[in-house]
Amino acid sequence: MRQQNTRSLLRSYFHRVQVIYFGLTDRVQEGRWVWDDGEELQPDQSNWRSGEPNNLNYDYTGHGEDCAFIAPRPQYQWNDSPCGTPGFVLCERPIQYQK
């Protein structure tokens, strides 16, 4: 998800899904977006929709919008949502090649 070519590939697979989480959160410190491996989001990796992240809605635990998701419509850009909002989860793992 950190690279544009990955995002382009995923568009063809997720065009019917409404909410896809991909391992980016600001739950520990509001406004500091971190990948699930602890690496901080870099400006050149960002793909936020205009006006996002806005931390607008709060869930029953008192947390704001602390989980980023991809919304296919209109342009596969990112939005932040309360982490309990139902959605699919995208996982990434390294590929091991056999010689």
Q: Which residues are at the interface with Ca ion (CB under 5 A)?
A: 26, 52, 54-55, 64-66, 79-80
Q: Residue 26 or 70: which CB sits closer to Ca ion?
A: 26
Q: In whole angstroms, how close is the CB of 81 to Ca ion at the nearest point?
A: 6
Q: Which is nearer to Ca ion, 30 or 92 (CB)?
A: 30
For the bound state, the minimum distance from the C-beta of residue 97 to Ca ion, rounded and expressed in Å, comes to 38
In the bound state with Ca ion, the residue whose beta carbon lies nearer, of 3 and 32, is: 32
Is cis: bond before 53, omega within 30 of 0?
Answer: yes
Residue 17, token pair as written in the block: 């899904």
For residue 37, the one-letter residue type is D
| Complex with Ca ion: residue 31 or 38, whichever CB lies closer | 31
Q: How far is the CB of 43 from Ca ion (least distance, A)?
A: 18
Closest CA to 87 of 14, 9, 10: 14
Instruction: Report the alpha-carbon distance of residue 64 to residue 53 in Å, rounded.
Output: 11
Q: How far is the CB of 68 from Ca ion (least distance, A)?
A: 9
* β-strand partners of 30: none
Token pair, residue 24, equals 């980016």
Provide the β-strand partners of residue 11.
none
